Amino acid sequence: MIRISDIIQEIVVWQPFLEDALQHWYLNLTGFSEYIRPYVEKIAGKSISSHAIKMTLSRLDYPKNLFPYNIRCEHNQINTISGLNLMSIIKNPNTQEMIWKLNYLKNNEINRYMAIIEWSREIDIFYDYTFWSKIEEIIPAHLWILTIKGLSLCSLQLRDEEIYQKWLFYSVTKKLAFHDINIIQVISTYHELWIVIRDEDLKKVVTVLLS
């Protein structure tokens, strides 16, 4: 006979954000118990009171080795670039010549920002907004997937010991989401985590990451 505690433990374990929320008292246990009651009753095959579910939730034994998710950054970990545009284009054999032209443009305008990121099917180009007319000349419109103007990059320097922290990216993106910040894109290298946001959100992003 399956126990209520086993059902609830499985719900929480397979949805780590619930485990996180329960451990740090983000959830109203009464409301959450009522919310999951139909599912628990379906698995158990019998009627179960919300109170019984609530008591089980309050007694759950949470893992002791969760990463301290409420990450706080230092000033020297953060770099920012604003006034950027993003163009995503379709990747095909013909785009390589365009990439060469973009790199030539980039190398001759070292004081203006441009980053070209090649994925398996698409290419993302982040560039200083003053490049717009030249980019438009190089990349034909039929290859455009989307263009977004008025973006900023917030680059978070990662330490060696943080690379293998399972909760690191989650902790950063969740912290920003909880402050109602829309993340356009997340890009990472070994020692950097790039967060792409709107220009108007940049100040708020830095404030949240430092707090």
Residues constituting the chain: 211
Q: What is the rounded CA–CA span in Å between residue 185 and residue 196?
A: 5
Q: What is the rounded CA–CA span in Å between residue 19 and residue 22?
A: 5
Give the three-state DSSP class for 83.
Answer: strand
Which of 209, 184, 74, 89 is CA-nearest to residue 146? 89
Is this model's pTM higher than 0.75 or not?
no
| CATH code of the domain occupying 75-210 | 3.30.2130.10
Angle at 98 between CA 126 and CA 109, to 5 degrees: 55
The residues pairing with 46 across neighbouring beta strands, listed in sequence order, are: none
Domain boundaries for CATH 3.30.2130.10 within the chain? 75-210
pLDDT in tens, 96-146: 999 999 999 999 988 899 999 999 999 999 999 999 999 999 999 999 999
Reply yes or no on whether the pLDDT at 38 is more than 80. Answer: yes
Strand runs labelled E in the chain: 78-90, 114-118, 122-128, 144-157, 185-188, 192-198
Quick check: 197 and 156 in contact, CB under 8 A?
no
Q: How confident is the model at residue 211 (pLDDT cuts 50, 70, 90)?
A: confident
